[in-house]
Structure 1
Amino acid sequence: MIDLRRLHVLRMLDEHGTVTAAAAALHLTPSAVSQQIRLLGRDVGVELLERVGRGVRLTPAARSLLGHADRLYAEWERVLAEAAGAPAGGVLRLCGFPTALAALLAPAAAELRDAGVAVEVTEAGNAECFALLLAGDADIAVVLPAPDAPPRDDPRFDQQPLLHDPFDLVVPAGHPLASAAGVDLAAAADEVWIGADGCDDSAIVMAACSAAGFTPRIAHGAKEWNAVVALVSHGFGVCLMPRLAPIPAHHRVVRIPLAGAPSRAVLTCVRRGSRGRPAIVRGLGALAAVAAQSPLPLVDGEHDEAVPHRHTYRS
């Protein structure tokens, strides 16, 4: 018999690369990780690790075992969906990137809480959301299909569309483009740009500018949207900003819809096989309800409202 908990430890070692990193992700000691893998090797009658210098690597037998692990775990999640109505510990754990937390997860979690569901919400970067799901520290994540994210057909995760999040051009109040009801992105080709260095959206921004025929001249950078908009407000440049990201009222900027606006698909993600668990069904339902009430288009087009006119934000 294979202990799935030990198999999960092997999966985490493969994911994180070292015993120490896997132990940190699993909230275990390195010695406990090594012991679990030794016991798994004993259970299946093969060696799973081999020494390489001061470290270890997975043996071919371990690789073969991992080839079946994702399918076994997906089946186990389906068993749990049929057998139990509550997530581990009785708390539904949600995570997402910052703008998704503010616009989607927080209101969905409030609805769940008011309906008597215990919830726990964690802000996490896109890559960290997948790590939290895999480690069992989150049940539902709101993520982006970023270049470094697992592909949609990754056997460990079930990723489904939630909504589209268009990008707007944000310029200082009084800027020559500020009076436009809408513009082509190429109109900002000669502008100085503010880079969103710490955001998962920078690749989308660069690709959109490239498609419009220019490379943005980035003179300043910030890691949070609030800081990016503050720089725009004080006349240091322009930026592209997803519509989910709020703009504080005291910033003097204008948000202009773009013709053929670039957008990012916002996805829900759960461990494959777990989407049918009753608590997760409720959580996904709450997120879908919040998304349906937003002014953003749903991915399936059912809520594809007209893009609003430019918005001016002044103190």
Structure 2
Amino acid sequence: MIDLRRLRVLRVLAQHGTITATAATLHLTPSAVSQQLKLLGRELGVKLLDHEGRLVRLTPAARVLLEHADVLTAQWERACAELAAHEHEVTGTLRVCGVSSALAALVAPVLPRLHAAHPRLQVEVTEEESADCYELLLTGQSDLAVVLPTPGAPPVTDPRFEQHPVLDDPQDLLVPDGHRLARPEGVELAEAAGEDWIVKTHHNDSYPLLTAACAAAGFAPRVRLEVKEWYAVSAFVAEGLGVCLLPRLVPLPSRYAVARIPLRGTPVPTRRLITCVRRGSSGHPAVGAALAALRDVAAALTAA
């Protein structure tokens, strides 16, 4: 018998490469991570790590174990889901994470629906960037994420996760009132190639989406101001300091003199919001109820 919590530590180590990074991800001390891996190796009667100075390297036995880890973990998630399904009422705590615009547009309307249908179900919500949401799922700190599949995201075939599209969100061009591109009929993104852009370039899902959209339009954006929050971005745009791509789900603050301009041409920049859960867990009553409610809210937004 093995402790699946220790197997989770090994999976995180394989992803991050160092004991220190694994400890930070799991909110443990490095010594606790090392101890968990020693106990896992002792349970299995194999050596899992080779030490090379201050670094560690996975042994062949550890890599064999990792080949089975995803299947074992998914099967355990299915078992937990089936056990929960035998209860007469959906209870417990559901932990949801996601990017800010997805939480506002999709998750917030879902919470009253879940409370009305399942009053004993508690829901916790955490706002994070997409990469962090995948980490929270993998480490068991979250149960459901609503994220943006940016270029560095796990592929849809990743055996650790179940990922499904929930909503396609067009992006508009945000410019100051009176700007040369403030044309209500819309513009092509390539027409903004010479503009300064406002976007935070590090640890921000919006940046890789912007660079991908601009590359498809034939240019690289010149970022002058690194600002992330849409309220602050709108303020800088209103002052004529640059432009940005604004997801249609994000409302405009009324106090700023800016114009939201639809983008024309092919392809039109669009964000795809997806739901992501640990593989095998979608059959859990709480997770399933939340996924169904998210689909309903997304359908209503699409039809509006």
TM, length-normalised to structure 2: 0.90
What residue is the counterpart of 1:175 in the other structure?
179
Report matched runs for 1:1-315 at 5 Å: 1-85=1-85, 90-115=92-117, 116=119, 117-198=121-202, 199-260=204-265, 261-294=268-301, 296=302, 303=303
Greater Cα offset, 131-140 or 259-268: 259-268
SS of 1:57's equivalent? strand
Shift of residue 113, structure 1, vs aligned partner? 2.9
* Cα distance change, pair 119–209 in 1 and its aligned pair in 2 (3 A): same
Give CA-to-partner distance per residue, 1:53-112, whole Å, 9 cap, x none: 0232211110110111001111111111111148x9910000001111121122212322
Greater Cα offset, 142-151 or 31-40: 31-40
Aligned length: 297
Give CA-to-partner distance per residue, 1:236-272, whole Å, 9 cap, x none: 1221111122221111111111114211211000000
**C-alpha distance in 1, partners of 2:222/2:137?**
37
Greater Cα offset, 94-103 or 237-246: 237-246
**C-alpha distance in 1, partners of 2:223/2:37?**
48
* Cα distance change, pair 42–110 in 1 and its aligned pair in 2 (3 A): same
**C-alpha distance in 1, partners of 2:31/2:193?**
56
Shift of residue 46, structure 1, vs aligned partner? 0.9
Give me the identity figure in percent. Answer: 58
1:193–1:220 Cα contact (<8 Å) kept: yes
**C-alpha distance in 2, partners of 1:22/1:195?**
30
Q: Structure 1: which amino acid aligns with 2:94? A: L
Q: Structure 2: which amino acid aligns with 1:40? A: L
1:144–1:265 Cα contact (<8 Å) kept: yes
**C-alpha distance in 2, partners of 1:189/1:28?**
46
TM, length-normalised to structure 1: 0.87
Greater Cα offset, 241-250 or 31-40: 31-40
What residue is the counterpart of 1:312 in the other structure?
none
SS of 1:91's equivalent? strand
Greater Cα offset, 163-172 or 207-216: 207-216
**C-alpha distance in 1, partners of 2:10/2:223?**
43
1:196–1:225 Cα contact (<8 Å) kept: no
1:181–1:257 Cα contact (<8 Å) kept: yes
**C-alpha distance in 2, partners of 1:244/1:269?**
20
Q: Structure 2: which amino acid aligns with 1:109? A: L
Shift of residue 222, structure 1, vs aligned partner? 1.0
Shift of residue 4, structure 1, vs aligned partner? 1.9
**C-alpha distance in 2, partners of 1:28/1:112?**
33
SS of 1:84's equivalent? helix
* Cα distance change, pair 165–10 in 1 and its aligned pair in 2 (3 A): same
Q: Which runs of 5+ in 2 are unaligned?
A: none
**C-alpha distance in 2, partners of 1:26/1:89?**
26
Q: Structure 2: which amino acid aligns with 1:136? A: G
SS of 1:46's equivalent? coil
Give CA-to-partner distance per residue, 1:212-239, whole Å, 9 cap, x none: 2333333323122222111111111221
What residue is the counterpart of 1:309 in the other structure?
none
Greater Cα offset, 128-137 or 16-25: 16-25
Q: Structure 2: which amino acid aligns with 1:237? A: G
